[in-house]
């Protein structure tokens, strides 16, 4: 009997040691003493599992926003505009061609050089033209002398005819000689004008004030009549030809202001002309914008993007376009923050200035109302909002704090 008892105790000792090591008996005792705390902890786990966000008593959740995610409705000027794009081209480009055939003696202009109207660009060898001009001058002098002699003989013939010394035929012959002499003088004068023009054309002059864009010849070359010598462009004014879709071309007229950017700079111009017809291929209307360029800051061939300003509304109530949202039906609305609660507010829009990033609100908001801007995640009507950072606008209520048990 004692030996069996000893063996049973030896078998039980490892089990008792394991129980004592795990603390099962005190845990059971603590659980029985905290019988009311366990259900409360279980209830808390159930609440988190339900997916509620933030400290919302209504169960609709909450959202935390940065100060940059909130904007106020404010008064500002808003512009109705039509976007355009195009290439700036010189208002006037003139190709200078050779009017005669000959050898170029000198060239006085190069690419990029500023020239004035009438300035000498190049010069031909004019020895042949000068010889022809002097010959024509001599022909004119000879014709004038012959005419003077013919007119004297005519007067003599008429005097003798009145005295009966010569027949009438002599008078008619003298008159015909005068007419022939006048014709020869007119021909000589015409040749003189032609040779004078050729002599003048040996001097190539700038037709307009501007900048030499290209030079096609050099001194000493033989140039044929009609060959291109220079291209001169006006740099004090440029023109932008832009295609505007026909559906957006209503109301465009000369004189409307245009703001555009090119090469990182902002410029202004005005509509100079509007095409009277729509291109059947592109269904677009061409608008020509005159851009003053007195300092030559803009260069021809520069690509530009801009806006035609149709009208400007002063002191309109505006919100950022990033605050606008659309329902499935396409109706605009915003999320307004009132007493730290989101409210779904339908709005009526006026002019939407996409370039300026603002939209006119004609109904639904008042000046100073706070709205959510941009994509900040899932939002819903009635959600509680906390804005972190920035100054709280006047009149905004502070978020209530939850009491904590000591």
pLDDT one-digit tens code per residue, 358-378: 899 999 999 999 999 988 888
Asked if pLDDT for residue 109 goes beyond 90, the answer is yes
For 168, list phi and psi in degrees, rounded to 5: -65, -30
**Domain total of the chain:** 5
Segment 25-40 mean pLDDT:
36
Mean pLDDT of 64-86: 89
Confidence band of 311 (pLDDT split at 50, 70, 90): confident
Identify whether residues 251 and 353 lie together within a single domain: no
Q: Which of 9-23, 69-83, 110-124, 149-163 has the lowest mean pLDDT?
A: 9-23
Domain that holds residue 335: 62-80+313-388
The residue assigned the tokens 């190709």 is: 95
Instruction: Mark whether 294 and 324 lie in a shared domain.
Output: no
Name the 3-class secondary structure at 65: strand
Task: Report the alpha-carbon distance of residue 234 to residue 242 in Å, rounded.
Answer: 20
Same domain, 134 and 155: yes
Residue 300 has pLDDT above 80, yes or no: yes
pLDDT value at residue 96: 96
**Banded model confidence at residue 294, pLDDT cuts 50, 70, 90:** confident
225 and 194 in a common domain: no
Confidence of residue 79 (pLDDT cuts 50, 70, 90): confident
pLDDT at 334: 93
Banded model confidence at residue 178, pLDDT cuts 50, 70, 90 = very high
The DSSP annotation for 226-244 comes to T-EEEEEE--SEEEEEEEE
Q: In what order do the strands lie in the sheet with 120-124?
A: 203-205, 120-124, 102-107, 222-223
* Residue 403 is assigned to a structural domain of this protein: no
Q: For residue 396, name the pLDDT band (cuts at 50, 70, 90).
A: very low
Residue 286 DSSP SS3: strand
Residue 56 lies in a domain: no
- Give the end of a domain, one of 151, 184, 201: 201
Cα–Cα distances in angstroms (integers) from residue 100 to residues 128, 199, 232, in the given order: 11, 9, 20
**Across 148-172, average pLDDT:** 89
Residue 167 lies in a domain: yes
Percent of the chain, pLDDT > 90? 43
Which CATH number characterizes residue 287's domain? 2.40.30.170
Confidence of residue 390 (pLDDT cuts 50, 70, 90): low
Task: Evaluate whether 69 touches 376 at the Cβ level (below 8 Å).
Answer: yes
Least confident span in 25-39, 311-325, 344-358: 25-39
Q: What is the pLDDT of residues 250-278, one digit of tens each?
A: 888 899 999 888 877 788 899 999 999 99
Of 216, 233, 250, the residue that ends a domain is 233
pLDDT at 48: 33
pLDDT of 20 higher than 60: no
Question: Which distant-in-sequence residues (6+ apart) come within 8 Å of 286 by Cβ?
Answer: 241, 242, 243, 244, 274, 275, 279
Which of 308, 376, 303 has the alpha carbon at shortest distance from 342? 376
* Rounded CA separation 102/122 (Å): 12
- Among the residue ranges 59-68, 79-88, 183-192, the one predicted with the least confidence is 59-68
Pick the closest to residue 351 from 315, 301, 388 (CA basis). 315
pLDDT of residue 398: 38
Residue 398 lies in a domain: no
Query: Is residue 31 in a domain?
Result: yes
Does the pLDDT at position 394 exceed 50? no
Of 141, 272, 324, 299, the residue nearest 213 (C-alpha): 299
> By the 8 A CB rule, do 324 and 359 touch?
yes
Rg (CA), the chain: 49
E strand spans, 44-140: 62-66, 70-72, 74-90, 93-97, 102-107, 114-115, 120-124
Single pTM value for the model: 0.56
Higher-confidence position of 14 and 193:
193
Percent of the chain with pLDDT strictly greater than 70: 81
| CA atoms of 342 and 371, how far apart (whole Å) | 9
> Residue 46: its pLDDT value, please?
31
CA atoms of 339 and 382, how far apart (whole Å): 11
Contact 204, 104 (CB under 8 A): no
Q: Which helix (H) or strand (E) element contains residue 144?
A: helix 127-163
Q: Are residues 195 and 256 in the same domain?
A: no
Predicted pLDDT at 7: 52
Q: Is 326 exposed, middle or buried (0-12, 13-18, 19+ CB in 10 A)?
A: exposed
Backbone angles phi and psi of 263, in degrees to 5: 55, 35
Burial class (CB in 10 A: 0-12, 13-18, 19+), 45: exposed
């Amino acid at each position: 009997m004692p030996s069996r008892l000893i063996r049973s105790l030896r078998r039980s000792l490892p089990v008792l040691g394991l129980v004592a090591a795990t603390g099962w008996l005190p845990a059971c005792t603590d659980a029985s003493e905290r019988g009311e705390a366990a259900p409360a902890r279980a209830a808390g786990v159930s609440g988190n599992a339900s997916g509620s966000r933030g400290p919302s008593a209504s169960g609709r959740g909450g959202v935390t926003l940065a100060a940059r995610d909130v904007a106020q409705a404010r008064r500002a000027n808003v512009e109705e505009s039509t976007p355009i794009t195009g290439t700036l081209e010189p208002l006037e480009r003139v190709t200078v061609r050779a009017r005669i055939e000959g050898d170029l003696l000198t060239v006085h202009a190069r690419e990029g050089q500023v020239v004035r109207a009438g300035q000498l660009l190049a010069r031909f060898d004019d020895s042949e033209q000068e010889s022809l001009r002097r010959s024509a001058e001599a022909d004119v002098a000879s014709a004038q002398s012959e005419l003077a002699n013919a007119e004297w003989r005519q007067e003599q013939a008429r005097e003798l005819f009145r005295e009966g010394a010569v027949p009438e035929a002599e008078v008619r012959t003298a008159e015909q000689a005068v007419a022939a002499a006048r014709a020869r003088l007119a021909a000589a004068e015409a040749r003189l004008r032609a040779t004078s023009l050729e002599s003048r054309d040996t001097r190539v002059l700038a037709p307009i004030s501007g900048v030499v864009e290209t030079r096609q010849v050099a001194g000493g070359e033989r140039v044929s009549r009609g060959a291109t010598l220079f291209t001169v462009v006006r740099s004090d004014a440029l023109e932008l030809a832009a295609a505007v879709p026909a559906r957006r071309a209503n109301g465009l007229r000369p004189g409307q202001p245009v703001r555009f950017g090119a090469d990182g700079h902002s410029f202004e111009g005005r509509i100079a002309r509007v095409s009277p017809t729509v291109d059947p291929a592109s269904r677009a209307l061409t608008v020509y914008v005159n851009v003053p360029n007195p300092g030559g800051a803009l260069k021809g061939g520069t690509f530009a993007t801009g806006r035609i300003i149709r009208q400007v509304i002063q002191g309109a109530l505006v919100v950022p376009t990033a605050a606008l949202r659309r329902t499935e039906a396409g109706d605009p609305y915003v999320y307004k923050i009132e007493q730290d609660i989101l409210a779904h507010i339908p709005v009526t829009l006026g002019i939407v200035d996409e370039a300026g990033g603002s939209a006119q609100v004609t109904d639904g908001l008042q000046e100073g109302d706070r709205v959510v801007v941009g994509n900040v995640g899932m939002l819903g009507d009635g959600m509680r909002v906390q804005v972190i950072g920035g100054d709280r606008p006047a009149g905004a209520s502070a978020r209530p704090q939850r009491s904590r048990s000591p």
